[in-house]
Chain A
């Protein structure tokens, strides 16, 4: 494909034909704020926070939806641009609850980031009408607080274009515009499958993971990338860790799944710290399990396996390994079975 060359803030940049101004700016490392834009979703260009000035055009240009043309001259931080962005932020904040104090997204919220960046104090200019939608938390996975929604529509497009479920959409008009399932029910009463993929793209605290956002502040979390322990798809995600505990799961850009996850991957981590977890080796004595040290337990296992092998031959022993354990563990158990015990009696339950 041919390239087009344009100038952004006085610097020349070439991008493939069909790229947007925003793409070109990102290539240069020039920052442009965005709310409704998402590289994987369709582009309504509706939030207008990404406006820039292009020479020769009277109005400001929506950079996420405007195709870069050869010779275009773009400025991203002119007074007119800043003024427009500030006004957009002020209008959004005028209807926004002042709740950062305890909001779960405090510290990882685009509205907040941009307000700070452009120096907008909450409610400073337009003290607008506030919504008083009740908090929707009648499902165990995530909370919807439509008072914090900035109507960017990303959740709608995520649900329609990637999740393919079309559960939520805009309803009503004007100030009453709201994102909701059909008939304005709660998600629990809709076709929602609670994949939480809408939560993953929400730029504010309007959609929040219930456990994660009530147990840690965003800056307290360490993220560790890993692979899902459930089905064979192999989705990647980040375990969110605070004080040595897994408190949640958030999307990363996975090889297989991108940011999408299913309800199990995103909300099924609670078993890790469940009180039923086994925390000590157990040895059965007179029909009852008794806690044992590792030395005792390993000694007993090795002794018993060894004596059965010696008395009845290696083929009197069998090993079942696990489709849930790692490759390394499966390999080692195979090695133990074949090289140490001396039998090929090894299988796993994946046939089931």
Chain B
């Protein structure tokens, strides 16, 4: 996020695109609700009539996967009506002309044809966004889990720069992370192309610094494989062994059957987790890690705030904190990796990571710190891009709408979209074992529009079979107006409804994020 969570409530205008904020990020949802109570304009772009859409002044019920068209359409209105922030565009951006020429095509009427959102609504929302004193854009997987996910993000950024709604309070471009430490994992270089703090592996200077700090001779310069490519490599036999810590790709990966199939081909698989997950079952060795309550450490939240995790109880049985296990493996492989405590590890992180350089456990005792925090005296950075962008002028990356990789046809006439439920989390490994959440929300269902249901002869509570080109699952139907005609929806939390057997592994070519939000399916009633 460019801006802190706490400043959303102060925004005059909020565009929530592809995020059911109140359900998947309930506490951020509180900020959105507060803003609405205080009179801010909330616009929600989502194919579903979600809870947050109910609160909105306008709900743009766009067709799945047409976000770029909508955002470009807004840019079109803003440019043609001369509402853009000329000062900001002139002083802080480049390539405006490129945006202008791409946006020209996306007249509100043209955009209506793609998105299904009335042209008048597009005009109104565009004007409101441009004219607001400050305006924030919130988005989640609804934006990124598409074959054009990276382009979607560009389109969002283009809009914010066009109107100068960035680099100041209550505005900005704000992705809401789905998992507690996605931000931290990325910050720590759990990515194939960067070290900590997004320092590129291809840079000789960066590698030289890490080589000297880590005491090793030559670090690899070639960017590595992404999760999807690793699984493909396993399938093809080029990847022979994997070490998986705390992830469950067999359930979370699109085309889950394929993920399991690939992992089974490995010569050696080690999985480190707190439960025997579907992925761990395939392993040759399983190492029992510690839960968040059993170890010290830090998480970095979606607004870049580094916060303490504190040990409250001893690990169960013989389980061990994951940081110790990693050290043990490294030592056994002949590399002396030794730390007294996670505080020690943070010292080292700070020493190799400019954006974390001022962060230490002593400082975190008195509260979280938002990076960049370059020195021990630096207060942290709640709002990014104030005054200037880190790369220099902000570059417009104009992008074109492309339809989803799979569109409904006569065999698979419905669009399946997936998402989250408030009471559950990710693949359900934790929330199905709490003694409370799974009691409350014990069964998953398929949301289906009553009109579609009537055509299929499906009644409330009927068991249905949902089938895509890749697989099928069975679950209970719930008739609702939340999803529009032509669309069905369910979550990916329930192992018994392994919905990712159906989803499309077609990936965005840049970020390699799979298109989990759209695939084509058919629904049949089970007799």
Contacts and interface: CB of A to CB of B under 8 A. Distances in A.
- Are chains A and B touching in the complex at the 8 Å CB cutoff? yes
Contacts of B284: 283-284, 300, 304
Contact of B293 (A232, A272, A279, A342): A272
B179 A246 contact: no
B246 A325 contact: yes
Interface in B284-305: 284-289, 291-295, 297-303, 305
Interface in A288-317: 289, 292, 294, 297-306, 308, 312, 314-317
Given A318-B239, A345-B224, A347-B226, A325 B293 contact: no
A348 B319 contact: no
A264 to B, nearest CB: 6
Dominant SS at the A interface? mixed
Interface in B408-466: 422-425, 429-431, 433-437, 439-440
B329 A298 contact: yes
Contacts of B334: 306, 340
Q: What class of interface size applies to chain A in its complex with B?
A: 35 or more
Nearest to A332: B326
A325 B230 CA distance: 20
A337 B335 CA distance: 12
Contacts of B234: 318
B177 A305 contact: no
B196 A301 contact: no
Interface string B247-268: 1110011100000000000011
Interface centre among A164, A244, A318 (most CB of B within 10 A): A318
B345 interface: yes
Q: What class of interface size applies to chain B in its complex with A?
A: 35 or more
A140 B230 contact: no
A141 B436 contact: yes
A340 B333 contact: yes
Contact of B318 (A228, A262, A294, A332): A294
A333 B276 contact: no
Contacts of B310: 224-226, 239
B129 interface: no
A26 interface: no
Contact of A268 (B214, B233, B425): B425
Nearest to A318: B230
Given A211-B435, A352-B514, A335 B214 contact: yes
Interface in A331-352: 331-352
Contacts of A273: 316
A331 B188 contact: yes
Nearest to A263: B423
A294 B299 contact: no
B37 A164 contact: yes
Interface in B305-337: 305-314, 316-320, 322-323, 325-330, 332-335, 337
Interface stretch (B22-30, B81-89, B482-490): B22-30
Interface string B222-256: 11111100100110001111111111110011100
A326 B184 contact: yes
A343 B224 contact: yes
15 contacts: A231-B177, A256-B27, A263-B26, A264-B422, A264-B423, A264-B431, A268-B436, A272-B293, A324-B246, A326-B309, A331-B345, A344-B192, A346-B190, A350-B178, A351-B512
Given A194-B440, A289-B286, 20 more contacts: A140-B440, A164-B29, A164-B30, A226-B310, A228-B180, A234-B305, A255-B305, A264-B425, A301-B329, A308-B268, A318-B241, A319-B243, A320-B230, A320-B243, A325-B245, A344-B223, A346-B190, A347-B190, A347-B230, A348-B227
